[in-house]
Amino acid sequence: MICPIDFRYGREEIKKIFSEESRLSYWLKVEIALAKAHAFYGNIPKEAADEISSKAKHVKLERVKEIEKVIRHDVMAMVIALAEKCKYGKYVHLGATSYDIVDTANALQIIDALDIIKKQIKELIKNFSILAEKYKDTVMIGRTHGQHALPITFGLKMAVYLAEMHRHLVRLERIKEEIGVGKMSGAVGTGASFGKKFFDIQNFVMKELGLKAETPSTQIVGRDRYIELISFLANVSASLEKIATEIRNLQRNEIAEVEEYFEEKQVGSSTMPHKRNPITCEQICGIARIIRSNLLPAWENAIQWHERDLCNSSAERFIIPHTLILTDWILYKMNYVMKNLRVYPENMLKNIEMTKGLIFAEAIMIKLVEKGMDRQEAHKLLRKCANEAREKNLHLKEILKEKEEIMKLLKDEELEEMFDAKNYIGKAIELVDITLNTIKEHEK
């Protein structure tokens, strides 16, 4: 087997952020900001900072790797590769520890990745908005416990997903604030290596990079922040798996209310020519489980020996880029599904009739209470009628018409109206409109 993230899953736009070349570029940005800070506060000559800044772009990944093979330290290999390019190389990395560079660069990388994910969430909100508006009065059966419950509209179902994705969009902005911190405080977080100008230097570096300073820190930024990040991505993945699972269920042959788009030349099975499998939604479900599994090492990485050990490093090299890349991927795939979703209102209406009127038992019970019947008595009576309809395989309406205690309270036309699903969707259409208006107001 080979790692599928290398060729099968993940978009190049976000994978590029976590390439070796990009990681080196982010590290060098931090080194440049540090040199500028030292020069601004008179610790090194201005020409030294200028040279470090200009020569950083000439540092080659191949050279860094050559050095790392010998010294077995990735950040120091970058420092040496940059220093050997500069006349003022002795000022490179002055006062910093490795994770001043790594964690600060991590923040820059993660924020850039979150901005890509944000675009995907906003696109999904747009797609759900279109479906909610288009189908807000398209009646279908609502299901609880896998059983027919009461009528809803397909637009309302989409509005529920729309509202959930909007909450994720709001959370994303908070997560960016949470993760947008770096440090330039030395080996144990005291700033001793930067002397009296420590706070000034750290604040200068963070302002230069558009970050806030982790104050106080140990040798690393607090890993509770990464737990928040991975938890957010796991939350998004759970929403996407929930939606994908619903589409898979609604695509079952015996339900057939929606369907993933199936391309003309697409093959569903190597042996069964008729198959049209919901493979994109199934892929979303599978990858969502990988995303959520990364929560465990994220939590465990927060547990450090004293001011820091190295156990988090190897795990984070996997879970941070992989979780961000895969979350972006399943958002992208869900956008494809929802943009091309096939919806079958005629099957929705057909399925409403499947239970032969049993789904209207609550509506009739409520009507009988309005007419003066005790609520508990009405519930007991309708339950008895529903059971009788099942046993005799008759429509509930036929059973009710034989019950004197019911028909003395209801007119024939009233009974007929209550078996029209459109008359028992409550405020579904209004709820869709409220949701759509809420989203529009937030976008202003």
pLDDT bracket for residue 300 (50, 70, 90): very high
Residue among 437, 339, 373, 349 nearest 128 (CA): 339
| Fold of the CATH domain 96-349 | Fumarase C; Chain A, domain 2 (1.20.200)
Residue 141 has what pLDDT? 98
Query: How much is the pTM?
Result: 0.94
pLDDT bracket for residue 2 (50, 70, 90): low
Residue 265 has what pLDDT? 84
Residue 382 has what pLDDT? 96
- CATH 1.10.40.30 intervals, the chain: 358-418
Mean pLDDT of 395-400: 94
Q: Is 269 a catalytic residue?
A: yes
Distance CA 168, CA 154 (A): 22
Apex 13 CA angle, 10 and 15, nearest 5: 50
Q: Is 379 a catalytic residue?
A: no
- CATH, domain 358-418, list 3.10.20.600, 1.10.3720.10, 1.10.40.30, 2.60.120.20: 1.10.40.30
- CATH 1.10.275.10 intervals, the chain: 11-94
Mean pLDDT of 32-60: 98
Average pLDDT, the chain: 96
Residue among 314, 393, 44, 76 nearest 194 (CA): 44
What are the CA-CA distances from residue 313 to residues 25, 221, 245, 309 (Å)?
19, 12, 35, 9
Mean pLDDT of 251-256: 96
The superfamily CATH assigns to domain 11-94 is Fumarase/aspartase (N-terminal domain) (1.10.275.10)
- CATH 1.20.200.10 intervals, the chain: 96-349
Question: Inter-axis angle of helices 61-71 and 74-83, to 10 degrees?
Answer: 120
Q: What is the largest CA-CA distance in the chain?
A: 102
Decide if pLDDT at 3 tops 90.
Answer: no
State pLDDT tens for residues 155-213. 999 999 999 999 999 999 999 999 999 999 999 999 999 999 999 999 999 999 999 99
State pLDDT tens for residues 102-137. 999 999 999 999 999 999 999 999 999 999 999 999
258's torsion region: left (phi>0), alpha (psi -120 to 50) or beta? Answer: beta
In the 8-state DSSP scheme, what is residue 221?
A: -
Residue 181 has what pLDDT? 98
Exactly one of 54, 269, 293, 314 is catalytic; name it. 269
Residue 1 has what pLDDT? 63
Residue 84 has what pLDDT? 97
Distance CA 150, CA 367 (A): 15
Start-to-end CA span in the chain (Å): 48
Token readout for 167 is 């909450």
* Long-range CB pairs of 345-349, under 8 A, 24+ apart, other chains included: 345/135, 345/138, 345/140, 345/154, 347/255, 347/256, 347/257, 348/138, 348/139, 348/140, 348/141, 348/154, 348/257, 349/139, 349/421
CB 106 within 8 A of CB 312: no
